[in-house]
């Protein structure tokens, strides 16, 4: 498979690229900063430099054409302010979804956030972030040309992955290693029957493949 990943130098994206490359898939990482290209190549991915905050839908669609799936894993980052939560976490997600539709890439997986909600109250930066992610998720869910799956991980950690997770429409709060998020994303890409699902993810007791199989088609 050829899989195009927005936010290709993010911590989850790099893990996903390594997993995809290791099994022979073609991972393409979309990055804003060309200096990150070597990091992607080291992970086994092809870097493509494109700033999704300023790119046109057509420019993004050119990158996506011929892909089997798209993954939106970009984020403004914890040090960014409210303005970039809107331009990246909402705006870039909307643009990438539009571009996937234009390019004819139906399979579209989103790395969202637990608690994302377009009606999330509050004015702190994290509140703006949760609204932005919620608005982006709502937009993706409205696109009839996408076979979307939205994944909402709990508190992300850099602990070594266990391969044991809890994946459900609602899990409650909890931590999840980034390793395991990447493993779940890989399995979701292989499981078209998870299209149309919004799923929460925390550490649990089911092997990743079993957890994804159990929610598929629900």
Residues assigned a catalytic role:
129
CB 197 within 8 A of CB 218: yes
CB 67 within 8 A of CB 2: yes
What is the C-alpha to C-alpha distance for residues 38 and 141, in angstroms, rounded to an integer? 34
Instruction: Say how many C-beta atoms besides its own lie within 10 A of residue 149's C-beta.
Output: 27
Q: Give the up-direction half-sphere exposure of residue 167: CA atoms within 13 A in the CB hemisphere.
A: 29
CB 73 within 8 A of CB 92: no
Instruction: Say how many C-beta atoms besides its own lie within 10 A of residue 10's C-beta.
Output: 21
Please tell me what DSSP assigns to residue 193.
Answer: G
Token pair of 35 as six digits: 């200096």
Helix residue ranges, H only, the chain = 11-22, 37-42, 57-64, 82-84, 93-103, 125-141, 178-189, 208-215
CA angle 133, 189, 76 (to 5 degrees): 25
| Residue 152: φ, ψ to 5° | -115, 95
């Amino acid at each position: 498979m050829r899989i195009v990943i927005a936010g290709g130098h993010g911590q989850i994206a790099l893990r996903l690229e390594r997993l995809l490359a290791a099994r022979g898939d073609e991972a393409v990482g979309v990055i804003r900063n060309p200096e990150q290209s070597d990091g992607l190549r080291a992970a086994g991915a092809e870097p493509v430099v494109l700033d999704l905050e300023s790119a046109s839908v057509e420019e993004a669609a050119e990158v996506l054409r011929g892909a089997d799936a798209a993954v939106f894993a970009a984020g403004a980052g914890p040090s960014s302010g409210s303005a970039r939560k809107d331009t990246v976490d909402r705006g870039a997600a909307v643009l990438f979804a539009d571009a996937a539709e234009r390019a004819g890439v139906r399979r579209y997986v989103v790395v969202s956030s637990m608690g994302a909600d377009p009606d999330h109250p509050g004015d702190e930066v994290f509140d703006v972030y949760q609204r932005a992610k919620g608005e982006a998720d709502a937009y993706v869910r409205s696109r009839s040309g996408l076979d979307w799956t939205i994944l909402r991980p709990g508190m992300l950690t850099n602990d070594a992955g266990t391969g044991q997770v809890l994946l459900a429409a609602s899990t409650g709060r909890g931590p999840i290693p980034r390793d395991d998020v990447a493993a779940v994303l890989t399995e979701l890409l292989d499981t078209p029957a998870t299209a149309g699902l919004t799923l929460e993810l925390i550490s649990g007791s089911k092997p990743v493949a079993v957890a994804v199989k159990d929610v598929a088609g629900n």
